[in-house]
Chain A
Amino acid sequence: MDYDKLLNLGAELGRQLMNSGAEIYRVEESVTRLLTAYGLEPQVFAIPNCLIVSVTGEDGKSVTRMCRIPAHGTDIELLERCNELCRYLCREVPPVEEAQAMVDRMAAGLQQYAPRTVLLGYVTAAAFFALFFNGSFRDCLAAALCGLAVGICVLFGQRFIGSNGFFRTVVCSAVISAAAILLVHMEIGENLDAVTIGTLMVLVPGMALTNAMREIMAGDIISGLSRTAEVILVATAIALGTAIPLMLTRSL
């Protein structure tokens, strides 16, 4: 049996799962199950930006593969496809080459929304969260415009803002805050708080904090703590970013 190929298969599937934003326990369990189905006894360890898979062959020689996972968003479609494929592979156990080809094909043929549609998603989320936080219909309109601004920043601003997460969050939240102040000043929006927090919902790490707690409860302490640190960092960036336009308008 070719351990290297099997190891690559497991690591690749695990990497895709990590990129889709799956929980740590799900990644570890899926890779373990896949390699067990191929008759190995794997050891898998994952933290948010690293995946280590190790197997021992019949000759007693052990092979290890480590993948570094870059910063990623959430992609539920990728997660569902990976999960489906993993279950299929565990059930059918096709030859390794075929399985590897299937994994590659899945990543290539993934359905994704056009940037336009994702932008619409940002606008919808911001507009309705403004209403949700007791905003009026005029606030909803203002938040939709702010959501458009932040969506453009996130989707197309990569080149100008750079890839540093902290700085990107500061810029995005400064844009939101400035746009909200401007729109309320122009009397399109009425309630500054509702517009700001409604739009900020697309940035605030509330989801990340809940996920961090879930990982700690599930026993993945290191992952949970590193995610908590990330939450604090992002929250600080948002607070700083929103404070800049507020200070500027006060001093003017």
Chain B
Amino acid sequence: MSELLTTYILPCLWAFWACVGFGLVFNIQGRGILICGLGAALGWLAYLLAMRFGIGDILSAFLAAMVIGAYSEIMARIRCCPVTGYLQVALLPLVPGKGIYQAMQYCVAGETQLFITSLLHTIGFAAALSVGAMLITSILRALFPRFQRGGK
């Protein structure tokens, strides 16, 4: 039970509050801010669960981005708002901020080999996120073209 709490519930809770903080910075008004936070927590939970199956972090990020993409699209349809805001804020815990930071630290320190390795990994991670999120958008566009007119 305590393992469940520390490995899954608490990180998701931290992700939720961190993204609510970002919602204030990005000027999200009203209930939208809680929806974004919830999306972030959900995405991170998906990532943690995928990691548990040992499929590697890039594939896990791809799956988590798909979950976030689906969640944001649904919320955007329900509230008739653009999907951008939900997607951007909900993806925040996953975006490779730490990776970019570490890569540039290696670069400044002159550790070229480590720099290239972490940079490529970071780019791969970011690409996985963007493909995952775009995939859901494209699938929905292909399946429900009529939604496009009202929902976008």
Contacts and interface: CB of A to CB of B under 8 A. Distances in A.
A201 B92 CA distance: 9
Contact of B26 (A76, A131, A242): A76
A47 to B, nearest CB: 18
Contacts, number: 161
Interface of B: 10-11, 14-15, 17-29, 32, 80-82, 84-85, 88-89, 91-93, 95-101, 103-105, 107-108, 122-123, 126-127, 129-131, 133-134, 152
A80 B81 CA distance: 6
A92 to B, nearest CB: 15
A76 B21 contact: no
Q: In the complex, which range does the number of interface residues on chain A fall in? A: 35 or more
Main secondary structure of the interface of B (DSSP, over half): helix
A128 interface: yes
A239 interface: yes
A80 B108 CA distance: 40
Contacts of B82: 22, 26, 79-80, 83
A185 interface: no
Interface stretch (A4-12, A63-71, A203-211): A203-211
A106 B99 CA distance: 39
A71 B89 CA distance: 20
B27 A209 contact: no
A18 interface: no
13 contacts: A76-B27, A80-B82, A132-B15, A132-B18, A133-B98, A197-B98, A201-B97, A209-B95, A210-B95, A211-B130, A238-B104, A239-B107, A242-B105
